[in-house]
Structure 1
Amino acid sequence: MSTETSPHLFTASADELKNKVILVTGAGDGIGRQAALSFAACGATVILLGRTVKKLEAVYDEIEAMSAPQAAIIPLDLNGATQQHYLDMTATIENQFGRLDGALLNAAHLGVLSQYVQISEDHWDQLMQVNVKSQFLLSQALLPLMAKSNHASLLFTSSSVGKQGRAYWGGYSVSKFAIEGMSQVIADEYDKTGLRSNCINPGATQTLMRATAYPGEDPQTLKTPLDIMPSYLYLMSDASIGITGQSINAQIK
């Protein structure tokens, strides 16, 4: 079985992402943190975006300790960021690094799990702001810069509830359906270019969000963020050139 059809079996070399500049949102903990570390370990210059500076600094220090390319930190709260924040951020990236070869848009808000009829307007608005509108504005700002790269990879974090609606997952599920559509639209528009856009569904993973959603679950029965990194490395590397408009499961049951 080839890595092209089985990203979860992909084995990245130590210089798989050498000379690539990659932005990771939600880089302070969970999957975003591990992705940043794994990208850096494979030679990438990683830009860490998140709302908690202390967490970003901790990841920055871990990257420094592994003698990887020096990372950069962008503190930004997606709940309050405006279009101008994203445009200014993109301009800063271009001025400092000259390009952007990859972006993992991983940050998301879980919201309150409840019956559909009990979702409050405030909770709905916050979910759509963080999980949809911020992803729209951020990707819209990044795309012109990423399109200048020979082979750029835009990667959205999806979910199984973004492919099949599930009771009580309400706004979160709807937001992930939107992300799937957003990625497909971008993929189709950039189909004849070097820029590809895909979604990745991490599956059940040991994260704070998962623990919040399933408080009675034994986390030791779940994959760790490190366990699911082969798919992330595959989709961010040149091994996945030509793969676009897809929704990839990081775990195969």
Structure 2
Amino acid sequence: MGRLTGRLAVVTGASRGIGYAVAKALASEGAHIIAIARPRSVGALEELDDDIRALGGETTLTPVDLTDYDAIDRLGAAIYERWGKLDILVGNAGLLGSLSPLGHLDIKEWDKVMAVNVTANWRLIRSLDPLLRQSDAGRALFVTSGAAHKAVPYWGLYATSKAALEKMAEIYAAECAKTNVRVNLINPGPIRTGMRAKAFPGEDPDLLAKPADIAPLFVEMACPDYTKNGTIVHYKDWAKAS
């Protein structure tokens, strides 16, 4: 039996990159995956389903735009009706947005990045927190970035969104301190993803860790015996210690 046998996991941004790799890794340990991605990514979700089935796992494919907040509310209701609880939430989906001076950013783009990187995760918390509390060991993991702690020119939109996400997750962790729910953040660092390639187009991807390399960290932190709360775990530090 896997370490997550019988456990239910929601993974956002599951159609590619880190989300895809994490969904597969959680499934390989026995978790049933509710895989969420934008409706236009249905083909990639179906590929994920094929990969997980090949591992002997199960998925529930959920094509949802995370800015459709009513759909997030319906997700919580549907999970409650079918399973009555949720064990793992991985808030991975995110947008980079433009690398631009703050004063030149398009208003609609600012709103969209904030909607996906911050508000959607709050709506997931709002919808799924009651279900995580029904688990014997609810685990919520959110993906952050080192950009949240740096004042790098032209990174204002992305960095601001991740800083807001971190503070929100830390407060959620404090609110869960006396429950069975544990809330933590993971900073992947430089990982070979489409977002990374967009931000650093001249970088050699062969020099970067792959999404599959970081997936075991998510598995470890999703397990019931991982009891830290309100922490930010940096993949590079974890990899050195492992």
> Aligning the two structures, in what range does the TM-score lie when normalised by the shorter sequence?
over 0.9
Q: Shift of the alpha carbon at 1:117?
A: 2.0
Distance (Å, rounded) in 2 between the aligned partners of 1:166 and 1:150 = 41
Q: Shift of the alpha carbon at 1:16?
A: 1.1
For 2:53, the aligned partner's letter is: E
Match of 1:161 among 147, 152, 155: 147
The answer to whether the aligner puts 1:54 opposite 2:43 as a matched pair is: yes
Distance (Å, rounded) in 2 between the aligned partners of 1:87 and 1:112 = 29
Match of 1:249 among 215, 219, 234: 234
- Cα-to-partner distance string for 1:35-62 (whole Å, 9 max, x where unaligned): 0000000111111000111111110111
Q: Which has the higher helix share?
A: 2
What residue in structure 1 maps to residue 156 of structure 2? 170
What residue in structure 1 maps to residue 14 of structure 2? 27
Contact 1:206 1:225 in 2 (8 A): yes
For 1:35, the aligned partner's letter is: V
The answer to whether the aligner puts 1:124 opposite 2:110 as a matched pair is: yes
Equivalent residue of 1:211, what SS? helix
Q: Shift of the alpha carbon at 1:97?
A: 2.2
Which has the higher mean CA deviation after the structures are superposed, 192-201 or 232-241? 232-241
TM-score normalised over the length of structure 2: 0.94
Distance (Å, rounded) in 1 between the aligned partners of 2:167 and 2:135 = 23
Contact 2:84 2:134 in 1 (8 A): no
What residue in structure 2 maps to residue 7 of structure 1? none
Distance (Å, rounded) in 2 between the aligned partners of 1:102 and 1:161 = 25
Number of aligned positions between the proteins:
236
The answer to whether the aligner puts 1:85 opposite 2:51 as a matched pair is: no
What residue in structure 1 maps to residue 187 of structure 2? 201
Match of 2:96 among 110, 121, 125: 110
Q: Shift of the alpha carbon at 1:166?
A: 2.0
- Cα-to-partner distance string for 1:170-200 (whole Å, 9 max, x where unaligned): 1110000011001111111110000011111
Distance (Å, rounded) in 2 between the aligned partners of 1:88 and 1:40 = 24
Distance (Å, rounded) in 2 between the aligned partners of 1:135 and 1:248 = 18
* Identity %, equivalent residues: 36
- Cα-to-partner distance string for 1:61-94 (whole Å, 9 max, x where unaligned): 11011112x1101110123x02x22121111112
Equivalent residue of 2:184, what SS? strand
Match of 1:216 among 195, 202, 218: 202
Equivalent residue of 2:236, what SS? coil
- Cα-to-partner distance string for 1:105-137 (whole Å, 9 max, x where unaligned): 000011101122211211111111111111111
- Cα-to-partner distance string for 1:187-226 (whole Å, 9 max, x where unaligned): 1111000001111101100000000000000000000011
What residue in structure 1 maps to residue 64 of structure 2? 76
Equivalent residue of 1:117, what SS? helix
What residue in structure 2 maps to residue 17 of structure 1? 4
Structure 2 unaligned blocks of 5 or more: none
Distance (Å, rounded) in 1 between the aligned partners of 2:151 and 2:85 = 37
What residue in structure 1 maps to residue 168 of structure 2? 182
Distance (Å, rounded) in 1 between the aligned partners of 2:101 and 2:42 = 35
The answer to whether the aligner puts 1:98 opposite 2:87 as a matched pair is: no
Contact 1:119 1:170 in 2 (8 A): no
What is the RMSD computed on CA atoms of the aligned residues?
1.2
